[in-house]
Structure 1
Amino acid sequence: MAPYESDDSRTGDEADDMRAGRRKAARYVVPVAVVGVAAATIGLVPAFAGSGDPDLPEVSAQQLIEKIAASDVQQLSGTVKISTDLGLPDLGGLESSLGGATAGGRDGSGSSADPSSKLMELASGTHTLRVAADGEDKHKLSLLDKAAEYSVIHNGDEVWAYDSASNEAYHVKGAASAGKDTKDRSEDVPATPKELADEALKAADDTTSVTADGTAQVAGRDAYKLLIEPKQSGSTVGAISIAVDAKTGLPLKFTLTPASGGAAVIDAGFTEVDFSKPAASTFDFSPPKGAKVTEGDESASEGRAGKGDKARPEGGEELGKEFEGLNVIGEGWGSIARFDTGGEGLPSEASGAGDAGRFLDSLGDQVSGKFGSGTVFSTRLVNALITDDGKVYAGAVTKDALVKAADAAK
């Protein structure tokens, strides 16, 4: 059956049911910069997933959306492989230096176990994760390396994070603070197919084509495939494919391919999954002998240099002033965030900045237009234009789209 874009024969009640399903699907959203565009309503294409292997009953795209929204998997354990290829330049020794500089975490705690910095490793390369869950207050995520393991364990009112490579632990106690800390830190970078799928569904609006796209087997389980594609030109997103477990509705695999073609930008999927109750000992943790333990409340009040939150308000206010002009140009997958840094653009060789200017020039492309001139910094998904007068335009759009937006804003 050929897909078509709308069905005017739907009754008012049916339309209300569809909107209710969309709202329910969007409520599990986890923030992620990769597909962080605003959601409205999902423009569904009622194609059917009745072909391919395995042979499953036909379902519509809307039914798959509702199946994901209704999924209520409370217990599972499994292994997830996640690969991210943004096409970032190889910075060699500088990359290691930057990693060391940020190892102390967002709050300056000085702990290599701080989730806010450690989980950012998922933003590049290929990684293997072990995940486990038992209800709302027991979760474990382990990032496996060749010779080390990093884990975040949430058990009741406590959150522990442990880095075996450095023998350091990070601890937050108290139901309210632990929950907030986990959300603020470990969910900054979505690590499972469900987290990625939820955000993609949030991003889908009436500028999006959503179709059921056959079936597949993932981690030995039968699954339907949901295909999300931008209708607009100018987006760097080519397509998003989500494999949905036929029985539980849990997203098992998430793949984002760029409009430019080639390998996936993000490919995250279960290689093993078990929906039985994990052993209670899975969520037990005590820091090993000799481990350096950083308490979350200590890092917030003291920080690496004894500053912490006490020093933040002034800096935070200044940062807020710099981004007061933030607004969004366009809609859907063509959305572009625009803000004014309040200062001058980046140093360049042309401006007489010497080696620093040459280095920055090598990372970006020089562009010009009615807006003046500036530099575009590109990945395979997100691009940003920084003009010489301090304006910034960024989004999952092409370089040409950024220049056109900057010209239009003049």
Structure 2
Amino acid sequence: MAPYASDDSTRPGEADDLRAGRRKAVRYVVPVTVVGIAAATIGLVPALADSGDPDLPKISAQQLIEKIAASDVQQLSGTVKITTDLGLPDLGGLESGLLAGAAGGASDGSSADPTTRLTELASGTHTLRVAADGPDRQKLSLLENAAEYSVIHNGKDVWGYDSASNEVYHSTGDAAAGADDRASGTPAPTTPKELTEEALKAVDGTTSVTVDGTVQVAGRDAYKLLVKPKQSGSTVGAVTVAVDAKTGLPLKFTLTPTGGGAAVVDAGFTKVSFAKPAASTFDFTPPKGAKVTEGDTPEAPDTAKGGAPDKAKGGAPFTEGADGFAGDLDGATVLGEGWTSVATFDTGGKGVPSGSDLPDAGGLGGFGDFMDSFGDKVKGDFGSGTVFSTRLINALVTDDGKVYVGAVTKDALVKAADTAR
């Protein structure tokens, strides 16, 4: 079926309605618990098969957004495959540790702590098993070659279990209260529903929203919602969401960069059922001999509230503090609007050391040279600095210690720094 001839952009009279629609979507129940980052056995589940173009009734972009917002799926189980390709260098696992630190992960050293363990989702391909029975019971399992990591939310208890190390992380609290605060501590969304909510935060006059035909995902008929920036300078090329035609639940989320190539984020169900999971799915007792670490506060978000709805202030996703992939940037100021907005803050120190500023590593080259290899030196009215780039998020660190970060190009970062000087 050919793509529908729906509006190719938001019209002036529809802007308020679109913003209202995405605010509802941000607040809607997310029936899958997800903790940790932005961000696992490759090959355990077949590659996601999108097939056919089912013949479905025509629907407008506004109607499809409203369908997502009105979706009321409370019970499901299934398998999600997520691939993230930010273009980060392979540092032998070091990059996951750096991301965990940036995400504000706990430092108790437990391999079962969700806030640090799920940073693995920031790169590579991973397979997740998910189950949900309303806002008080969810389970997510990260599959590995010879082990499994699970997060279980059952009433007031949140458990994390790493079978490889036989370690358990446990926290308790009022599962019905403070859910937004817990969700706001989640550094990045990982299910199609959560990723869609992030993208819908940018639906305003800077965004083109259309219905781009139909598709089948995990055996379900779905509409394709296409979200594209109108502005130049963004690293986001397009966001495509496959929305279940019956339930309105996003089944697949794909973000492609302006630079082309493979998707930066591709997350979707390979199997899904909307039947009520067995109650035993959410039962957990620490295995004999397991090391149990007690947390001070619940670390798992009650995703029934969706990620930090009170902070849904619009602007581009992937940049604005805890609402996006850039993480929680305390004291940050947002420059610009829409998809080309840039977060900036002052470290109060100097910029990135150059190769000549750091010692030689035993004849193997200076550590500064190693750092230099990851960044590009730039100059502008702001002075000089270094741009560190991924396929989606770029950051400029000036020589006087200011940082500019966003889902924008290197030139856009320099322009933002020049404007802010």
TM-score by length of 1: 0.82
SS in 1 for 2:261: coil
How far the C-alpha of 1:359 sits from its partner, in A, is 1.4
Q: Which amino acid aligns with 1:71?
A: S
CA distance in 1, matches of 2:410, 2:275: 48
Judged with a 3 Å threshold, the aligned counterparts in structure 2 of structure 1 residues 7 and 117 are, in CA distance, closer, same or farther, namely closer
Task: Name which of structure 1's ranges 82-91 and 344-353 shifts more when overlaid on structure 2.
Answer: 344-353
Q: How does 1:7-406 map to 2 (within 5 A)?
A: 20-28=20-28, 53-92=53-92, 94-95=94-95, 98=97, 106-176=105-175, 180=179, 183-184=182-183, 187-297=186-296, 324=331, 326-351=332-357, 354=360, 355-406=366-417
SS in 2 for 1:254: strand
Q: Which amino acid aligns with 1:399?
A: K
Q: Which protein has the bigger helix share?
A: 1
Q: Which amino acid aligns with 1:64?
A: L
Q: Residues 270-311 of structure 1: CA distance to partner in whole angstroms, max 9, x if unpaired?
A: 0000000001110001111110011113999xxxxxxxxxxx
SS in 1 for 2:414: helix
SS in 1 for 2:165: coil
How far the C-alpha of 1:403 sits from its partner, in A, is 1.1
CA distance in 2, matches of 1:93, 1:60: 44
Q: Which amino acid aligns with 1:225?
A: K
Task: Name which of structure 1's ranges 71-80 and 14-23 shifts more when overlaid on structure 2.
Answer: 14-23
Task: Name which of structure 1's ranges 173-182 and 134-143 shifts more when overlaid on structure 2.
Answer: 173-182
Gaps of 5+ in 2: 40-51, 300-328, 361-365
Q: Residues 163-204 of structure 1: CA distance to partner in whole angstroms, max 9, x if unpaired?
A: 001100011123259965993588433221001001110122
How far the C-alpha of 1:353 sits from its partner, in A, is 5.4
CA distance in 2, matches of 1:138, 1:248: 20
CA distance in 2, matches of 1:202, 1:7: 17
CA distance in 2, matches of 1:101, 1:329: 26
How far the C-alpha of 1:90 sits from its partner, in A, is 1.8
Q: Residues 227-264 of structure 1: CA distance to partner in whole angstroms, max 9, x if unpaired?
A: 00000000000000000000000000000000000000
SS in 2 for 1:297: coil
SS in 2 for 1:367: strand
Judged with a 3 Å threshold, the aligned counterparts in structure 2 of structure 1 residues 349 and 177 are, in CA distance, closer, same or farther, namely farther
SS in 1 for 2:227: strand
CA distance in 2, matches of 1:19, 1:95: 36
CA contact (8 A) 1:29 1:199 kept: no
Gaps of 5+ in 1: 36-51, 301-321
Judged with a 3 Å threshold, the aligned counterparts in structure 2 of structure 1 residues 101 and 159 are, in CA distance, closer, same or farther, namely closer
Q: Residues 366-406 of structure 1: CA distance to partner in whole angstroms, max 9, x if unpaired?
A: 11122221110000000000011111111000001111111
CA contact (8 A) 1:242 1:251 kept: yes
SS in 2 for 1:69: helix
Q: Residues 200-226 of structure 1: CA distance to partner in whole angstroms, max 9, x if unpaired?
A: 101222100010110000000000000
Q: Which amino acid aligns with 1:363?
A: F
Q: Which amino acid aligns with 1:366?
A: K
CA contact (8 A) 2:387 2:397 kept: yes
CA contact (8 A) 1:197 1:242 kept: yes
Q: Which amino acid aligns with 2:349?
A: G
SS in 2 for 1:376: strand
Q: Which amino acid aligns with 1:80?
A: V
Judged with a 3 Å threshold, the aligned counterparts in structure 2 of structure 1 residues 6 and 127 are, in CA distance, closer, same or farther, namely closer
RMSD: 3.1
CA contact (8 A) 1:32 1:199 kept: no
CA distance in 1, matches of 2:236, 2:100: 32
Judged with a 3 Å threshold, the aligned counterparts in structure 2 of structure 1 residues 268 and 94 are, in CA distance, closer, same or farther, namely closer
How far the C-alpha of 1:338 sits from its partner, in A, is 1.3
CA contact (8 A) 2:10 2:205 kept: no
How far the C-alpha of 1:25 sits from its partner, in A, is 2.1
CA distance in 2, matches of 1:5, 1:101: 38
SS in 2 for 1:175: coil
Q: Which amino acid aligns with 2:21?
A: G
SS in 1 for 2:171: strand
Q: Which amino acid aligns with 2:255?
A: L
CA distance in 1, matches of 2:296, 2:7: 54
SS in 2 for 1:191: coil
Query: Between the two proteins, what is the percent identity of the paired residues?
Result: 71
CA contact (8 A) 1:116 1:185 kept: no
What stretches of structure 1 move > 6 A for 4+ residues in a row?
Answer: 29-35, 99-102
CA distance in 2, matches of 1:365, 1:346: 11
TM-score by length of 2: 0.80
How far the C-alpha of 1:70 sits from its partner, in A, is 0.3
Which position in structure 2 is the counterpart of 1:45?
none
SS in 2 for 1:21: helix
CA contact (8 A) 1:347 1:353 kept: no
